Structure 1
């Protein structure tokens, strides 16, 4: 759930060297003491409420794998604050795990290091074939036209979460389907003394995910077809301004949220302090904070006009976690067996249920757990109205530079400084100038 949202932004500067790095990483000895071909090291991303919670989910499954294959898996759950830095260090040092989880938006950047095993037709065949996976999930596994750098493990999408009680008290009978409707609902909620919509203005990755959706809804992209930054495109400027204007002009996002970082808006929503939340696969997070599933509803993220979730109207990035293999592992056969196990129908059901995610393996999605109303919104969004974030080698820097630009614009809005098309364009121009040369 916290996947890309909590990316180690402070470590992203290291990724400036990604395209020049091709020394490979990963070794059966790099992640610990395992020098046996019957042992694998696995870096799992922190998906649950805590590292210990993840261990409780994963350890029984890894023991099951050992019983089936005789291969022991040494598990380390890595916090999101450390994960990208750890991976980048492993790609340059040659010392890392055999298998690891990566945020799906990092796929192209990490692919550029040359350290990860390419999933060509032969490697896909070893885990049951490429056609087992949803195409939307495969679209966030690396640069288009190249063999994927990773395999989808958990899929997630953004949705609009709304507090049923607050909506009823404000006389709102249904969730907003368009941004105009959201603003109108927000004003009714404010009139009742409640805060309408939560945001995390200081969370760079959250900023990116939202302005990406606003841009796609306007038919805009942050990069040209040949992968060059195009941040000052008038439609991109309009998209970024429209998102920040939810605070600056429409006043439905509280000024204090400009300083919010990871999970603070989720906490406010769970405590009933805010009526609406735009978040990715939030149910497990809300439950861990004591909010009953009956207290909130889930709807697609609003669009400019029309019905959310249909056609080309994008209301979420394709979010999720991918599973990668360092290609210089001493136990390539065992690593592929482990990926096959983790992406098997049975494990996909177990793990994605535990994390309130959607299986990227199509055959596992038929389980009743993934057809409940709340999960159905996420699944339908992924199937019909989600788009992959830019799969370019400089994606990590994009998240940092543009995410920072949005953060600074929120700070302007909170301080009462005007947010104009000109000020937005200036911030985005500065962000584009900070991007590495192609």
Structure 2
């Protein structure tokens, strides 16, 4: 039965992601999880690339993992896996049964990976060892797996989307940051010209676009799934996606060349360099500064909402983003892996790591540090706590991300080439995405 569950769940994910010719590393640890001392044990850990480079991640993580070794006697063999490879590496491990002891997963993959039955459920015993469920931020904890089932991991990095704006450009133009989409179009137009655009958009990234499509759709009242059946072409979802693409096609505050921005860094660099006045992005002040932007010019406000929300529209302006840490069921060192999970979610380690990355701690008791009391960080905290929602926690969620993300990317490309983006054009693309998902099973 487990083989069948793995095959079924992986098939769902693979239909949304091409499996690369690489596999999980062999489990080099030994010994039963419930016996023996920790001395001499080695955990393998696949960390996601959170920093500006793989080397940057090693510089951030290695001192903390060495600290963990000093305290417990458990060594950690660290590998930082690029995002382009991470899901494929995880999938290869779930099918082979050979993978790391612990690993990071994107929280939007939680339910899809949970369905493989390849990860240790976070039960009450593990929760007690990490200080209990109530330590964690509610929205981040909600993005750890399907409702009604034990989580597939615990949050280690939390985040949300907000609107960055260049304080100097706004002040020079006598403008205030927008709170509605109409205001966004107005101030964006006033700040567009002379080689600068009102808003930068990672228009060639399906991953980035589907996050915004989810948010915009929910603002207009979309139910993206009816049970486990997709409703991508509902009138509400069509309206939300159309509003997103209209930032380029109708409002003309996004440079058409942004349709080619797919690396996850180009629009951020444009904003940092003054080529755009606004940017919808996760917390990244450190990256903006490293790209040459002055800290005093960085402003943050919540992403706008409709001035007159339609009936059924949600007061939401971000998906719950972040990274979870999981224990691989094939690990022979589950007890030691649980200790590492407890260490990584401790207030001390959460403070160090999230300060280094510019993300938000996933535990409430880490917020006493001054780094998480700044005006901009508090905006992100408030959004995450009050107006953010997890992506659908369904096994087919990764398919939603891929098929709808690609559909919106095609619409942005259409807008960049001057094609008309009306209701029918959007519905056609979303209907096609829905049919592909249904065909994938």
TM-score (normalised: structure 2): 0.90
- More deviation in 254-263 or 121-130? 121-130
Contact 2:195/2:275 (<8 A) preserved: no
Kindly report which structure 2 residues correspond to 1:287-298, keeping only aligned pairs within 5 A, or say none. Answer: 287-298=289-300
Query: Does the alignment pair 1:346 with 2:360?
Result: no
Which of 44, 58, 80 lines up with 1:77 in the alignment?
A: 80
Task: Give the drift of 1:168.
Answer: 2.4
Residue number among 372, 384, 395 corresponding to 2:397 in the alignment = 395
Please, which runs of 5 or more residues in structure 1 have no aligned partner?
Answer: 1-11, 19-24
Structure 2 equivalent of residue 124 of structure 1: 127
Contact 2:29 2:332 in 1 (8 A): no
1:285 matched to 2:283? no
2:140 to 137, 140, 154: 137
Which whole-Å CA distance do the structure 1 matches of 2:383 and 2:314 have between them?
11
Answer yes or no: is the 8 Å Cα contact 1:49–1:288 preserved in 2: no
Aligned partner of 2:63 among 50, 60, 64? 60
Question: Which residue of 346, 361, 364 corresponds with 1:362?
Answer: 364
Question: Conserved in 1, the CA contact under 8 Å of 2:248 and 2:254?
Answer: yes
Computed over aligned residues only, the root mean square deviation of the Cα atoms, in angstroms, reads 2.0
Deviations, residues 173-218 of structure 1 (Å, cap 9, x unaligned): x211111111000111125652110001110111011111111111
In the alignment, is the contact (CA less than 8 A) between 2:12 and 2:396 conserved in 1? no
Q: Distance in 2 between matches of 1:321 and 1:265?
A: 22
Which residue in 2 is equivalent to 1:15? 13
Q: Give the distance between the partners of 1:102 and 1:123, measured in 2 at CA.
A: 18
Partners of 2:332 and 2:273 in 1: how far apart? Answer: 49
Contact 1:170 1:192 in 2 (8 A): no
Tell me the CA shift for residue 258 of structure 1.
1.1
Equivalent residues of 2:12, 2:395 under 8 A apart: no
DSSP 3-state at the match of 1:366: coil
Aligned to 2:232: 231
Equivalent residue number for residue 22 of structure 1: none
| Shift, 1:268, TM fit | 0.7
Alpha-carbon distance, 1:17 to partner: 6.9
- Equivalents in 2 of 1:13, 1:249: separation in Å? 39
Aligned partner of residue 367 in structure 2, secondary structure: helix
Q: Which residue of 2 aligns with 1:99?
A: 102
Q: 2:218–2:314: 8 Å Cα contact kept in structure 1?
A: no
| SS, match of residue 389 in structure 1 | coil
CA offset digits 1:38-71 (Å, max 9, x no partner): 1100001110111111111111110111111100
Q: How is 1:19-38 mapped onto 2 (pairs within 5 angstroms)?
A: 30-31=26-27, 33-35=28-30, 38=41
Match of 2:5 in 1: none
Equivalent residue number for residue 254 of structure 1 = 255
Gaps of 5+ in 2: 1-9, 17-22, 32-37
Any idea what SS the aligned residue of 1:190 has? coil
The correspondence for 2:204, drawn from 202, 206, 209, is 202
What residue in structure 2 maps to residue 42 of structure 1? Answer: 45
Partner deviation per Cα, 1:279-307 (whole Å, 9 max, x = no partner): 01121221222222112211111111289
Contact 1:41 1:98 (C-alpha < 8 Å) held by counterparts: yes
Q: TM-score, normalised by structure 1?
A: 0.90
Deviation of residue 434 (structure 1)? 1.1
Aligned 8 A contact 1:13 1:397 in 2: no
**Aligned 8 A contact 2:30 2:333 in 1:** no
Query: In structure 1, what is the equivalent of residue 167 of structure 2?
Result: 164
The alignment covers a number of residue pairs equal to: 413
Measure, in 2, the Cα distance between the counterparts of 1:291 and 1:131.
37
Give the 3 Å change call, closer, same or farther, for CA 191–63 of structure 1 in structure 2: closer
